Amino acid sequence: GRFERPGHRVTADRTVHSRGAGWEYVHIAIDDHSRLATASVLPDETARSACRALLDAVRHYRRLGIRFVRVLTDNGVAYRSRKFGRLCRRLGIRHKFTKPYTPRTNGKAERFIQTALREWAYARRYESSAQRTEQLPDWLHRYNWHRPHASLGYLPPVSRLNSLNNLVGLH
C-alpha cells in the first residue's frame, strides 16, 4: 500500500560509478513516502560501509524530523551480513529484503539511482572522483528541495514532510 507518512519505510541500495573519474560506491537511502534522498560515497560495499551508510542516513533523516522504522535493501552481501542485521536491530529498524533478481521491488531506489547517474554522476566531466563527490551534497539539495517530481504532483520531496514549517530554517 501507500506510505502515508515519512519514515514508514526507507529503501536502500548501492551502485558503482565509473567513467573517467574512477570507482566509488554510492550507498543511497530514499524515504518511501516523501522521496527525500540521501547518499554516502564510500570506498567499498562491505558490511562496515553499509553500516556507516545506514548510520549516515539515520542521522540525516533525524535532522529532518524523520525516524524510520523499516529499511528495504537489495540482497547484496553487505546488507545480508550479521553486522548490518545487528545494527538494524540495535536501532529498532525492521530490515526487509527485495525479491532476488527483481529490481522493481526496490523501484524508488532504482529510479533515484538512474536520476543520480544522469543528473549528477555523468552530467558533466569531472577531473577526479573527489571533485564529483564534492558536487553530491549540492545535487542532493536540489533534488530534495527544488526539483519537481511527477509522482509528487510536480512538487519537491521536502513538500511531503509534515514538519515543513520547522525545516525552513534548515534551507
- For 24-57, the pLDDT digits (tens) are 899 999 999 999 999 999 999 999 999 999 999 9
Compute φ and ψ for 82, nearest 5 degrees: -60, -40
Stretch 12-31: mean pLDDT, rounded? 70
What was the pLDDT predicted at 97?
96
Say how many CA atoms lie within 13 Å of 131 toward its Cβ: 10
Q: Determine which of 6-10, 16-20, 37-41, 99-103 has the lowest per-residue pLDDT on average.
A: 16-20
Domains of the chain as residue ranges with CATH: 10-163 (3.30.420.10)
**Cα 52 from Cα 57, distance rounded (Å):** 9
Q: Which residue has the cell 553499509?
A: 50
Closest Cα partner for 14 from 94, 84, 90, 61? Answer: 84
User: What is the three-state SS of 5-36?
Assistant: CCCCCEEEEEEEECCCCCCEEEEEEEECCCCC
Which band of pLDDT confidence, cut at 50, 70 and 90, is reported for residue 170?
low
What is the rounded average pLDDT for all residues in the chain? 87
Which band of pLDDT confidence, cut at 50, 70 and 90, is reported for residue 137?
very high
User: How far apart are the two ends of the chain, measured CA to CA in Å?
Assistant: 31
Largest Cα–Cα distance of the chain, in whole Å? Answer: 44
pLDDT 10s digits, 72-103: 999 999 999 999 999 999 999 999 999 998 88
pLDDT 10s digits, 111-129: 999 999 999 999 999 999 8
Give CA separation, 56 vs 52, 101, 139, in Å. 6, 27, 17
Higher-pLDDT residue of 90 and 162 is 90
